[in-house]
Amino acid sequence: MAATEQPLSLAKIKWTDPKSGETKEFVLTEGATATIGRMENNDICIPEQHVSRQHAVINYRDGIFMITDLGSANGTFVNDKQLEMPFPLASGDEIRLYVPTLTFSAAVTEEDERHAQASGTFITATTNTGAGKLIITTGPQEGQVIPLLLHRVTVGRATSKANWEISLQDPSVSRPHAKLELVDHVWVISDLGSANGTIVNGTSVYEKARALHDGDLIAFGATLVLFRAG
């Protein structure tokens, strides 16, 4: 039997807890997605008051790691420049979550890998099983996690007569707004003629369905939602 192929480790993120003085190192493999925020369910948890519950996400796109702000209250900065759109990370970049600072590096040693695996900070690509969930990152429902339990769900504004599966408390969301559908173990999204559009990673989605990937950021009106696969 052939040996299981190990994922290729490509990057490392380092953060030092100012209270304990402990330095944590997170190793990211090819295809990995890492959420950063104050809540414990993040891949990289930074429990500081200036950090939003879901603050930013790093994901692997077309051979590079990109970082995107998730509508955080205090902003995400790379090399002291505030992010307004997804930004490609390079080795040595300094990521600042308003106050806490993390360092991104493309140099990963075997010792780094072993330590990350032992400490639970080894972040690999998500296996696409057809499962999925949405994490609301802005608005009154911030932090709410919505598992995608059906093969087709409709997203729309929360009203007394709403009959869609996902209701958002946002007046800029249409009634209904968009649909998500599981096709051959891949979630796809399409807009339902909404007034303010459905946007994935900064690009508008129209009636033609678009495949979703782990870590994609979806905007339904003024509401930002993070898609997690697997």
Q: What's residue 139's pLDDT?
A: 84
Examine the pLDDT at 2 and tell me if it is beyond 50.
no
Examine the pLDDT at 64 and tell me if it is beyond 50.
yes
Beta bridge partners of 14: 25, 103
Examine the pLDDT at 5 and tell me if it is beyond 80.
no
Give the list of residues 6+ apart from residue 143 with CB closer than 8 angstroms, or none.
39, 53, 54, 135, 136, 137
Determine the average pLDDT of the residues in 152-174: 97
Give SS3 for 116.
helix
Cβ count near 31 (within 10 Å): 17
Share of the chain above pLDDT 70, in %: 98
Is the separation of the CB atoms in 56 and 76 below 8 Å?
yes
Examine the pLDDT at 118 and tell me if it is beyond 70.
yes
- The alpha carbon of residue 88 and the mean position of all alpha carbons in its chain are separated, in whole angstroms, by 15
Q: What's residue 129's pLDDT?
A: 79
Examine the pLDDT at 4 and tell me if it is beyond 70.
no
Determine the average pLDDT of the residues in 149-174: 96
Written as six digits, the tokens of 179 are 């649909």
pLDDT-derived band at 208, boundaries 50, 70, 90 = confident
pLDDT-derived band at 1, boundaries 50, 70, 90 = very low
Examine the pLDDT at 167 and tell me if it is beyond 60.
yes
Q: Is the dihedral of CA 94, 100, 106, 109 positive or negative?
A: positive
Instruction: Tell me how far apart the alpha carbons of residues 227 and 30 are, in angstroms, rounded to a whole number.
Output: 18
Q: What's the whole-model pTM score?
A: 0.90
